[in-house]
Structure 1
Amino acid sequence: MAAANYLPSEDQFLCSICLDVFTDPVSTPCGHNFCKNCINEHWNTTDQYLCPMCKKVFNPRPELNVNTLFSEMVSQFRQSAQQKANSSSSEQQVFKPGEVPCDVCTGTKMKALKSCLNCLTSYCETHLEPHLTASGLKRHQLIDPVENLEGRMCAKHDKPLELFCKNDQTCVCMLCTVLDHKTHKVVPLKEEYEVKKAELGKTETEIQQMIQKRQEKIQEIKHSVSISKGDSDRELAKGVQVFTSLKESVEKGQAELIEMIKTKQKTTEKQAEILIEELEQEISELMKRQTEVEHLSLSEDHLHLLQSVQSLNIHHPLPTKDWTEVSVSLSLYEGTVRRAVAQLEETLSEEMKKLVKAELKMVQQYEVDVTLDPDTASSYLILSNDGKRARPGKVEKSLPDNLERFSLCLCVLGRQSFSSGRFYYEVQVKGKTAWDLGVARESINRKEISSLSPDRGYWAIWLRNGNEYGTLEDCSVSLQSRPEKVGVFVDYEEGLVSFYDVGAAVLIYSFTGCSFTEKLYPYFSPCGIKGGKNSAPLIITPVRGN
């Protein structure tokens, strides 16, 4: 008895394709109902047989079954709707400003419930009745009431805009196709509507993906700030511990260190705020575009969609930034503490050893796998098959004189290049009396002898005569021990290149304040054999071998 009193809503009996009450309803295998003609026409104009409701794809084209019980319910609904229309016609609403009036009413205009794209007329509840019951009218396309139906007529020929010109990307009438657009490709509005709607769907998906990527980038930036804050807190505590253990004479250095670390953290947070603000602005613009696309995608009004989609300019990408490589640059606080403590060399020597040891351990986390590039190697060098060793030879090899190869210097570059971030690698120099190590920019001149200076594109240190270490910035580098393994660390954004004596955990030298604008390559020179000495190779070794 409860089922007998149940009155379904009108939406349950409207075909999702024509938006009218079902006519000859049939069911797809997925259980959704459509007018028989509507679903057949829909499948006749597409390459895939998919359900318009749930988008499930069928292959091959499925058989459509009549749902007898549902057909009877639709029939009962039609009768009920007819009776309701007859009994409530006196209760129709008079149209108000901003609403669409019925075009058929004489005298007092009633509020239109639907507009017919075939009749180009808007109807109130009473005058809409024939379109719901008459067999000749029930196939007309009804939409939510709209004004200016005359705009759906060709201004030149006063005929309905039923076709779409592919060449001019505009809606045309039948006469246009035989006159102004005679040689153009013209398709039915519905066909182009489906194409444009699919494009809108793709655009909406792309916008959603862009929004998601930017939201993920915000989380990445926030995470980077969190990491930076953690590093900052740890280093600040370490710095305070170091300086509070000293006498009053070093309190000034402690204050300067605290200020430097806080300034770097503020810079990091400010950078993050700027990036987040820019990302949120792009997300706002993308959400605005998404709302426009989503609203237009929901329209069943072919002409309105086709005329409106041009202004959205969906074929051109939004003016947004590529955020793939954007990140917050994290400051290297270990180096900050080290440089501050270095000013107090005599009283802080033991503390410096601890700090450098911790710094080395930290930078070793940025280890990269470097191999030697034989296309850049001097013809006097002998490289191992695994690309990890380079030693000087006595005889020149016959090699192609390509642009990448060093011609006058016993040098070789790594295969790997770096244009952002941080990287670290270690080189065994045991048994050698001369060598060069560092990084070089991509554009260095490899056909002449150049000084190893930053101006020429080199950031390197060297050994000569077994115990003379130096750089072009500081010709003499003082070391208490002779390194057997040298670590090379680069922070591209920070403009830092540091060299470490790995065994002693001692900083050999640092280039600071560098400005990198090109790719950087690891640079090696085992130098030549002199007096029967220096024949040992340079060996790239893994950090785990320490």
Structure 2
Amino acid sequence: MALPVRVLQMSSRFAARSAVLLSSVRQVTRLTRRSFITNSTQNQLQFKLDERTAHSSLDLFKKETGVIYRILGVDPTHVQDSPLRFRDWAVVLADSHIESGRHYWEVTIKKSDEFRIGVAEETTSRDECIGPNSTSWVFSYVQRKWYAMTTNKMVPVNLVGKPERVGLLLDFEAGKLSLVDTQTAKVVHTMKTQFHTPVCPAFALWDGEILTHSGLEIPPGL
């Protein structure tokens, strides 16, 4: 028996609406999956060194991922005036800030007997070195010994010798900055604090050179 024209029209409209609804659900599902994939990699911090913050004795190289100390300083014609630049201490900050999550990066040290690596608040004073103040947290290597430094406190770190490469693990919410032995993928020492503002990777150097490695996954077990 043939169906009335009105019934056929309603069926067609229902089918069309169902197709649109199904298409929308599929689209939302795809977007949700994409968002999940994006969020799963958010802890892989990628950064370069910010030339605007670098003291005039520090020269960046290898696409701003490395820094070398020059006794005579960088050619003054190559150093632009910037209020972000450290004025009295050989310090440089990264160009990315951290305000949440867990992040891991590594540092290769070459021919340096005195350096500091860690994090500092974006607004840390450009007239002070990283380590002695309350706006930075660093691991310092000097006179063949390691120290954890912040707010004029120096705590010896039981790490024998100077490895060529070390890791740093930052847990922003937990207020932890850890020095990691890259050979064993184990934490050597952890500094505990409470971060109130965003921080960024920070480096100080008085001889030799260091190379940064970011965009790394956190080693299993850390």
Same fold (TM over 0.5): yes
- Contact 1:450 / 1:456 at 8 angstroms: preserved in 2? no
Go from structure 1 to structure 2 and tell me whether the alpha carbon gap of 1:475 and 1:417 turns closer, same or farther (over 3 Å shift): same
1:443 to 106, 123, 138: 123
What is the letter of the counterpart of residue 194 of structure 2?
S
2:103 to 423, 427, 430: 423
- RMSD of the alignment, in Å? 3.5
Go from structure 1 to structure 2 and tell me whether the alpha carbon gap of 1:480 and 1:506 turns closer, same or farther (over 3 Å shift): farther
Report Cα offsets for 1:492-514 as digits up to 9, x if no partner. Answer: 111111011323545332112x2
**CA distance in structure 1 between the partners assigned to 2:177 and 2:66 by the alignment:** 22
The 5 A counterparts of 1:119-198 are: none
Q: Does 1:460 align with 2:138?
A: yes
Shift of 1:389: 1.2
- Contact 2:49 / 2:93 at 8 angstroms: preserved in 1? yes
Structure 2: give runs of 5+ residues left out of the alignment.
Answer: 18-23, 218-222
**CA distance in structure 1 between the partners assigned to 2:57 and 2:202 by the alignment:** 16
**CA distance in structure 2 between the partners assigned to 1:480 and 1:504 by the alignment:** 14
Structure 1: give runs of 5+ residues left out of the alignment.
Answer: 14-30, 34-50, 56-207, 221-324, 326-364, 528-533
Q: Does 1:507 align with 2:215?
A: no
The 5 A counterparts of 1:337-348 are: none
Shift of 1:366: 5.1
Equivalent in the alignment of 2:202: 523
The 5 A counterparts of 1:208-219 are: none
Give the TM-score taking structure 2 as reference length: 0.71
Report Cα offsets for 1:170-199 as digits up to 9, x if no partner. Answer: xxxxxxxxxxxxxxxxxxxxxxxxxxxxxx
**CA distance in structure 1 between the partners assigned to 2:72 and 2:97 by the alignment:** 29
Q: Does 1:537 align with 2:209?
A: yes
Go from structure 1 to structure 2 and tell me whether the alpha carbon gap of 1:54 and 1:507 turns closer, same or farther (over 3 Å shift): closer
Report Cα offsets for 1:235-285 as digits up to 9, x if no partner. Answer: xxxxxxxxxxxxxxxxxxxxxxxxxxxxxxxxxxxxxxxxxxxxxxxxxxx
**CA distance in structure 1 between the partners assigned to 2:201 and 2:162 by the alignment:** 22
What is the letter of the counterpart of residue 196 of structure 2?
T
Q: Secondary structure at the match of 1:375?
A: helix
**CA distance in structure 2 between the partners assigned to 1:516 and 1:411 by the alignment:** 21
- Contact 1:487 / 1:500 at 8 angstroms: preserved in 2? yes
Equivalent in the alignment of 2:20: none
Q: Does 1:414 align with 2:94?
A: yes
Go from structure 1 to structure 2 and tell me whether the alpha carbon gap of 1:493 and 1:430 turns closer, same or farther (over 3 Å shift): same
Which has more strand, going by share of residues?
2
Equivalent in the alignment of 2:21: none
Shift of 1:475: 3.4
Q: Does 1:382 align with 2:59?
A: yes
- Contact 1:484 / 1:501 at 8 angstroms: preserved in 2? no
Count of matched residue pairs: 190
Give the TM-score taking structure 1 as reference length: 0.31
Which has more helix, going by share of residues?
1
Report Cα offsets for 1:461-515 as digits up to 9, x if no partner. Answer: 11112x1211234432222342221101101111111011323545332112x22
1:484 to 141, 156, 164: 164
- Contact 1:414 / 1:521 at 8 angstroms: preserved in 2? yes
Equivalent in the alignment of 1:370: 47
- Contact 1:372 / 1:388 at 8 angstroms: preserved in 2? yes
Report Cα offsets for 1:405-459 as digits up to 9, x if no partner. Answer: 111110111112111111111001143110000011111111x124614x52101
**CA distance in structure 1 between the partners assigned to 2:184 and 2:16 by the alignment:** 68
Q: Report which of the two structures shows the higher radius of gyration computed on alpha carbons.
A: 1
Equivalent in the alignment of 1:470: 147
Shift of 1:372: 0.9
Shift of 1:386: 1.0
How much identity, in percent, do the aligned residues show?
Answer: 23
Q: Secondary structure at the match of 1:456?
A: coil
- Contact 1:436 / 1:461 at 8 angstroms: preserved in 2? yes
**CA distance in structure 2 between the partners assigned to 1:474 and 1:438 by the alignment:** 14
The 5 A counterparts of 1:356-367 are: 367=44
- Contact 1:483 / 1:503 at 8 angstroms: preserved in 2? no
**CA distance in structure 1 between the partners assigned to 2:205 and 2:179 by the alignment:** 17
Shift of 1:516: 1.6
Report Cα offsets for 1:521-541 as digits up to 9, x if no partner. Answer: 1101122xxxxxx3x210113
Bigger RCO (CA 8 Å, 6+ sep): 2
**CA distance in structure 1 between the partners assigned to 2:141 and 2:88 by the alignment:** 19
- Contact 1:427 / 1:541 at 8 angstroms: preserved in 2? yes
Go from structure 1 to structure 2 and tell me whether the alpha carbon gap of 1:464 and 1:480 turns closer, same or farther (over 3 Å shift): closer
**CA distance in structure 2 between the partners assigned to 1:384 and 1:435 by the alignment:** 17
Equivalent in the alignment of 1:493: 173
What is the letter of the counterpart of residue 387 of structure 1?
E
